[in-house]
């Protein structure tokens, strides 16, 4: 089944404790992206990747890192999480950036 998977689905952590949210797709898509969803703001793009080893900032990249060492994986790294990063995070992928994007199920992160 074609899908985008994220892990973990739920995470509660404390300020400053490094964490990684994984994202994997099995559709051989070149384009992958991370969004955060906050009430009243819709979804905002954090980072995106056009292909392996090619990443760039979205609208809200501060406090986040990403890497794209393999085509299928695009982890989101929070080196020192803060409470304002409490949010619902979605990974998305598409064959190319201009194609329909498929979203993962989301990761709900709480930073205390």
Partner 1 sequence: GDSVTQMEGPVTLSEEAFLTINCTYTATGYPSLFWYVQYPGEGLQLLLKATKADDKGSNKGFEATYRKETTSFHLEKGSVQVSDSAVYFCALSAGAGGTSYGKLTFGQGTILTVHP
Instruction: Write out the residues near partner 1 by the rule CB under 8 A.
Output: 4, 31, 33, 35, 40-45, 48, 50, 56, 58-59, 90, 92, 94, 96-98, 100-106
Smallest gap, in angstroms, from Cβ of residue 18 to partner 1? 25
Residues with Cβ within 8 Å of 98's Cβ and at least 6 positions away in sequence, in order, are: none
Smallest gap, in angstroms, from Cβ of residue 62 to partner 1? 16
53 φ/ψ sector (left φ>0, alpha ψ -120 to 50, else beta): left
Name the residue nearer to partner 1 (CB basis): 56 or 79.
56
Name the residue nearer to partner 1 (CB basis): 62 or 100.
100
Smallest gap, in angstroms, from Cβ of residue 22 to partner 1? 15
- Check if the beta carbon of residue 90 is closer than 8 Å to that of residue 104: yes
Name the residue nearer to partner 1 (CB basis): 16 or 105.
105
Name the residue nearer to partner 1 (CB basis): 31 or 64.
31
- Check if the beta carbon of residue 44 is closer than 8 Å to that of residue 58: yes
Smallest gap, in angstroms, from Cβ of residue 16 to partner 1? 29
**Alpha carbons 13 and 32: distance in angstroms, whole number:** 25
């Amino acid at each position: 089944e074609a899908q985008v998977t994220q892990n973990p689905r739920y995470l509660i952590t404390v300020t400053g404790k490094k964490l990684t949210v994984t994202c994997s797709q099995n559709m051989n898509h070149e384009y992958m992206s991370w969004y955060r969803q906050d009430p009243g703001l819709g979804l905002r793009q954090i980072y995106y990747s056009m292909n392996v080893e090619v990443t760039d900032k979205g609208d809200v990249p501060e406090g986040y890192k990403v890497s794209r060492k393999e085509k299928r994986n695009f982890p989101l790294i929070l080196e020192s999480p803060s409470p304002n990063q409490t949010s619902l995070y979605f990974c998305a992928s598409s064959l190319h950036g201009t194609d329909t994007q498929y979203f993962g199920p989301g990761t709900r992160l709480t930073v205390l």
